[in-house]
Structure 1
Amino acid sequence: FWTHTEPFPGVELKASQKPQHHGVYTMFHGTSIASARLIIANGFKQSTGGMLGKGVYVSRDKKKAAHYPLNSNNTDRVILELRVRVGRVKRIDKDNHPLQYTWHSHGYDTAWVIPNGGLKAVRSGLEEDCVFDPKRVKVVGIANAPNPIVQKELQHGVYTMFHGTSVANARLIIANGFQQSSGGMLGKGVYVSRNKKKADRYPMKRDSSDRVVFELRVRVGRVKRIDKDNHPMQYTWSTQGYDTAWVPPKCGMTAVPSGLEEDCVFDPKQVKVVVPLRNRWNKDPRLYGLLGGRGMDLK
């Protein structure tokens, strides 16, 4: 995120105001919660296409960003506030504009669709921009989130997740912290999930009386999405500069027949216990005593 120690936070233009070449402007981007986490962790990625070709699609109009993702529920919509260095700007103000898809090859950094410009692809009539280089777009805040919990998680990069384990292992984790697993479907790391139902299943083939689910605070760092079998970085993501591997829900990987979301955090120091959740916690006061009656904080 941008901080107030940086020199220029960005100018807010009205939708109809013409951007100046090489200006820095406040804009917005609407996305899902999962994508917002990836963007904050890794930065924007260039889209493969769109009505203006490749780039990062943004708008000065928050109402425009609020429409995205299309066909999604409001409970899964986040609006990111951005600082955008527009560079050289090309105005696209009609259908079949000769530079609609080729503006970047003509030396422009941003394509600007004016409000109420009459383009059929912009039925809302709201202003839109496409920035070719993702490095020109930086997240500076969360303009809107579905609830305060998501807002706080996105702002601080520390997420609530869960881990299921046995009572014996729970005691060791509370006493010594997490240890990196020797392997797994994503290689070495600590396996956690944002979905408590996923954690409830572990350890596999154990009686429910020997299961404890930890609520965790996880600092994810840089995140790599692993969304298919035999992904080229399925086991090597940590060697490529990523801190966490993320398997999205219902991605079809054969190793995740439940279809539930899963994460692998390479450094155990980034995973801290808040509190055990299952009833076994109440039946075994030694767990509570080891934790000292409160959670361990991420510094």
Structure 2
Amino acid sequence: MSRLVLHQRDDGVAQTLLRKAATHARDGDVWVDGRTCVPNGELVTVLRREAEFGWVRTGAGVEGYLKLSYLLPPPEEAKVQRHGQGQTTMLRKVATHARDGDVWVDGRTCVPNGELVTVLRREAEFGWVRTGAGVEGYLKLSYLLPPAVAKVQRDDGVAQTLLRKVATHARDGDVWVDGRTCVPNGELVTVLRREAEFGWVRTGAGVEGYLKLAYLAAEEGVPNKLLMFHGTDGANAAGIIQHGLRPSAGGRLGPGVYLTPDQTVANTIAKHRGLQFVLECEVTPGKVYNFDTGTGALPAQKQTWAASGFNAAQSMHPPWAGVDAAFCEYCIHDAAAVRVIKVEGFVAKPT
């Protein structure tokens, strides 16, 4: 299945020659005619994969091999949204929770709630983003809403729409996604990014392609979903597998299900507690109260955020259970908002 990706090298080289063959050789007749170069930042379509290489098509329609290590997921749009006390967020130079020293982007650039940014890459709990003004820096991923969900809805009497490979109004030539995939009216799609009058979307079946933005209606009430992790002792595994995660009666942020968006943190906590057992979960957090204190002391809202209309609470947890740095912690009030999608680790034998 074809997939759009971003060409981006991290070795200081600004462009890459397309190859005729999936080889590391640089001598002989290995280069595409004309020695076509693909610059960093260009989007290409991966048509197939062979070992460490991908056969790609550029925007100009030229095809050839590129190393897969030079290809990244395409950038996504996200909306900055902090809950609680912060209405703006400063961009960081480094992916750190530290607030002291030379960690802020020059000019202490602030990004207000509601601004759209482009997420260029992810590092643990942070995303390297580009603002609309072109300034780049790190923001916490917990401050970024996932890509928007929209409903396909045409008002011209046509009941379905073909996905396109390229953001074009043309209907002739090789513009359609393989298999001429159709998306019917009423189907929900995830809008990963926008280009002029088009959106690059992912269907429920995982197929990606372009649709006209005019055919997409914002779907109110569709919950955002986040990927989070819960690390525990394998002695608890059997009960979790049988009954699912149950909310704790208490805890640092009050009663609820405790998770972190950082898998490394969950792994460390699980290992520290005994037999390593980690759950990967799809979470619908809803409205989040953000403490973000980074200390052991929390304000009185610890016990009242759920009663105040919030569905979850978030805070920076100080170093704990083998984790040697502050980490992001969520408490989800309703266990029904947490769906276990994968388990990994050891299950203790019954005694």
Q: TM-score range by the shorter chain?
A: 0.3 to 0.5
Q: Which has the higher strand share?
A: 2
TM-score (norm 1): 0.44
- Higher RCO, Cα 8 Å, sep 6+: 1
Q: Which has the higher helix share?
A: 1
